[in-house]
Amino acid sequence: MEKTYSLTLAQAARRLGVSYPTARQWAVRGDLPCHVEQHEGFCVRTFNEADLDAFAARRAAERTIGADELTAAQAAHIIGQRWPGAASQQLKTVGVPFRKIGARLVFPREAVEAYAAAHPHAGWFSISDVIRRFRVPRATVERWADERCLPCERDHRGRRRFRPEAVAAFRGPARSSRDHDAARGERKARQEAARQARLNAPELGASDAARFLGYASPISVWRLASTGKLPFILDDRGHRRFARAALEQFKEKNGRPRRGRPYAALDSGEQ
């Protein structure tokens, strides 16, 4: 039985429930069967009702999510991601197959479950996430993990991973004011010990040289070095380094700097 093409493009678009440009695009692309003929220099397309009904049924089947498929939100829940968009990007990056239904992505359930089994810590917090959440140093988060205050696990690459629910319930160990003062005192003692170690080194940087000579700022040391009154060398990074023996000789000759402009007489050329 010969098919009859009695519907125009506008009628076909209304029957399919889409816009005129969409139906025309499908017809031009060859997805929507039609009969094409030339009429007075124009391309006229007509459609058959049975072809339109078959196309609508096939398109509805393609847009239906099967039992073995997952939406981005469902996949995010399985792999432990908070946002569906982030889950889609993560799955696409590792090569999990997908298909599009309009603007949505659909993933095979088997592939998503296999990825979740191979990466059991996907979606867990990294140590950087915990640092940003609590605004504490990295050493503090590592200490919490080592003391089991904030439990963590190691992933396949040996990195620390924290459960989101454990991080959400964590409030930080309670510390008394005495413990806080003791920790602050220890920190200051370590800083002072490191400073003294730098001052006792055979070569000093500009800031340590200024502190050794009694300056409040390294700018005066830079000025003396630039005018040739204080010898220095450049390290491999181009930073000025001052020998401790030269600094002791300079300090012995000129004494401590006076208030105001240090070594004003020396800077002006007076001896």
pLDDT-above-70 percentage for the chain: 90
- What's the pLDDT tens digit per position in 24-61? 998 998 888 888 888 777 888 899 888 898 988 888 87
Per-residue confidence band for 155, with pLDDT thresholds at 50, 70 and 90: confident
Mean pLDDT of 76-94: 82
DSSP-assigned letter for residue 149: S
- The β-bridge relationship of strands 203-204 and 240-243 is antiparallel
**Inter-residue contact 9 to 18 (CB < 8 Å):** no
Q: 98 and 105 in contact (C-beta within 8 Å)? A: yes
pLDDT per residue over 54-69, tens digit each?
Answer: 988 888 877 778 888 8
Which long-range contacts (C-beta less than 8 Å, at least 24 apart) are formed by 175-184?
none
Domains 9-62 and 200-267 equal at CATH topology level: yes
In this prediction, residue 177 carries a pLDDT of 58
pTM score, two decimals? 0.40
Q: Residue 86 in 3-state DSSP?
A: helix
What are the residue ranges spanned by the domains of the chain? 9-62, 69-118, 127-169, 200-267
Residue 258: predicted pLDDT: 66
Q: What percent of the chain has pLDDT over 90?
A: 8
Burial readout 41-58 (b: 16 or more C-beta within 10 A, e: otherwise): eeeebbbbeebbeebeee
Contacts 24+ apart (CB under 8 A), 112-117: 112/70, 112/75, 112/78, 112/79, 113/78, 115/79, 115/91, 116/78, 116/79, 116/80
Provide the CATH number for the domain formed by 9-62 in this structure: 1.10.1660
Token pair 């390294």 is found at 218
* Pairwise CA distance, residues 254 & 269, whole Å: 13
State yes or no: pLDDT of 204 exceeds 80.
Answer: yes
CA distance 27 to 25: 5
Residue carrying structure tokens 């929507």: 32
**What band does 19 get if pLDDT is binned at 50, 70 and 90?**
very high
| Tens digit of each residue's pLDDT (9 = 90 or more) over 98-138 | 988 877 889 999 998 888 888 777 778 888 889 998 989 99
Residue 264 has pLDDT above 50, yes or no: no
| pLDDT higher at 189 or 177 | 189
**Amino acid 259: pLDDT:** 57
Name the 3-class secondary structure at 13.
Answer: helix
Q: Quick check: 267 pLDDT over 70? A: no
pLDDT at 179: 62
Architecture of domain 200-267: Orthogonal Bundle (1.10)
Torsional sign, CA 251, 255, 261, 265: negative
First to last CA, the chain: 119
Residue 238 pLDDT more than 50?
Answer: yes
